[in-house]
Structure 1
Amino acid sequence: MFLSRLSLTGFRNHSNTELELRPGLTLFQGQNGHGKSNLLEAAYMLAIAKSARSSHERELVSWSLAETGGHMQVLGVGREGDTTVQAQIDVDITAPASPKSNPGFRKGLRVNGIKRSAIDFVGNLNIVFFEADDLEIIHGSPGRRRRYLDILISQSDTYYLKSLQRYSQVVTQRNQLLRRVREGVSEENELEFWDERLAYEGARVTDSRRRAVDGLNDHAVPAHRELTDGDKLELEYRPRITAAADDRPKVGEMNAEMIEAEMKKTLTAIRRREIAQGVTVIGPHRDDLEIRLNDNPAGNFASRGQSRTIALSLKLAEAVFVKQSTGRTPVLALDDILSELDPKRRRLVLEASTKHEQVLLTSTEPGIVPDDYLETADIYTVMNGRVTQDAIASASPSANSDD
């Protein structure tokens, strides 16, 4: 699959950007703060229905639209053989009624012109996105690693996203009930229904994550080996289906039904503890993904360069996982991946990434991409939200945006 068109209207500092893209390597170059990363962020939104960098639409629209109202749109067309898919995100902005009030935002999603829910929108286009914040997969909280797994699986399995949403609703309802039982407002036996639902939905989420980590191990470990001088990468899924974190059954040997049974047994055993705390203490919302480098926790021992290589290895493995799950080769969107790497490592990264059908790459440093890769690349310069194609790009036609 490749992204053949990317159209942005009122998105961050891109007032009106239209790009026709080709398979192969596309390089967006320019200084920081001019809109290169925004292009990749927008493309990734078309895969996951929201921004990976912002939690609210107000942070995505241009300043003028936030002040006066109007319309923001991110539109992309993906091609896979004879199949074409158009994904579109629209946000209507209502100007604030007074200087002290906030603008209103109404978001809509469409696939091939038909309105879709977020669940039905995700995964119609497949894009794997690397950004600097992905180092938090290694150094950040368990929640950051859970989010990484959830986005990875959701791109290739719409049932997983539904299970995850149902599970989150069950946890919310169950926590409220636990607090009511603690306060004497509700009866303890009312928890039995929610225990059943928590174990059922939680087991499906846990089983999907287990299989995803197995797939990542199959591909991230050899990818990391190729990008390094033999550093040893290990990934271990650490589900919380028992009360003690260090007393974990081997979920690799369990199916969803076995995981469900284990969770039910644990919930019965720890009921008094959960009532006292007023929260659900086991389940996928407490999972973690352990990442080790040379037998040590990568979050504590990996340098920034090593962490960048680990994150890229995970992304390359993610691309293989998505392809195997969907049959479609995802687009690679790599934001400033080459910085902080030595020339040898840069070439290894380019060699590995350009095996994919389409790579969207950003860079702030002129000359960081070797000339032999530039010979067949489409090259764009981004300045103040204006995107222009460089004359040294490939001679094949590719539309130019001068907005």
Structure 2
Amino acid sequence: MVTSDLETAAVPELPARQPAVARGDGLLRDRQIGNLGLESGLELPGVRIAYESWGRLNPDASNAVLIQHALTGSTHVARGDSDEAGWWDGLVGPGQAIDTERYFVVAANLLGGCYGSTGPSSIAPDGAPWGSRFPFVTLRDSVRAEARLADELGIGHWHAVVGGSMGGARALEWAVSYPERVRHAVVLASCAASTAEQIALAQAQVLAIEQDPDFRGGDYYDGPIPAAGLGLARRIAHISYRSEAELGQRFGRSAQPGEAPVSSRRGPGRGAQRYQVEGYLDHQAAKLVQRFDANSYIVLTEALMSHDVRRGRGDLHSALARAAGVGFTVAAVSSDRLYLPAQSEELAAALPEPTPVHRIASDVGHDAFLLEIAQISALLGEIFT
């Protein structure tokens, strides 16, 4: 069970560390990293971290790259032996900007996630799912778990840690928590700390799930899932992922084909009478409900709410001074209304070395960090030459 005796709890000795896995690109694996002390003072026992990898680790382990996924992302960054499309295909792979013929690329599932790492849907030591008993975790906890995974894979330092949005926050935490293990940190569409507005948007999403009757306080694994609440949370989030201009250009005030939102009464039981943008949000919600766990959505959202690289480290300049020697690439999306370009400017201005803020020019909004592959590839050119 979770224990609060962080200072004195004995962590069982792990088996001898093994070298990195044999090549098997894009296949999900996991590693046992032992008990993990959390920032809250609790301890999470028997933690497993899931990951995928591409390429081979070279003899001096100098070619390792860590890719950090966003809130509802997964470890499947690129195509591999499974031939399933990855979420950064075109950026990661043979001959791409992050060339898997040259670099050993690793993507780990966040602690608390639902793609193989220990999370609320995992089985606790008593044989039942963690559910509501899963402890609060922070991004620093996830980075600490990833450092243990790196140890298990024989990786002493990363050539680069790369991430966007929540992944960018983790890349920043890596650089500050383990500067001796990071050569380059790439922080895309992210920030030094979650703002009041970002926390407010996150709280609305958490409450949408918690107020679903099927949520049952987080212990719903023996019955129906809180699909309505999770779907609503996704709708709230997705509005912030796209720009007003992009939504207007794509949908405007057009009705969903075959539906009449103006001439028909709207409401439960009267059939769907939607604008196209409503159909789009319904589609996004349905996709997430099919692949993501509601408890994990809450755990990871609250972890993102906690993001503050300054916590316990003084002001921003003092906190980032810990990352002296790490090369930073910082980029903002021009139309981002979730992580504002001004936040990237604030971060870059406080870094130990002068660092420009690159602009990803796009009308899409925040999600451009996933979509503008050509621009991101160009940004990474100097790091992955």
Bin of the TM-score, shorter chain as denominator length: under 0.3
| TM-score, normalization by structure 1 | 0.24
| TM-score, normalization by structure 2 | 0.25
Greater strand proportion: 1
Report which of the two structures shows the higher radius of gyration computed on alpha carbons.
1
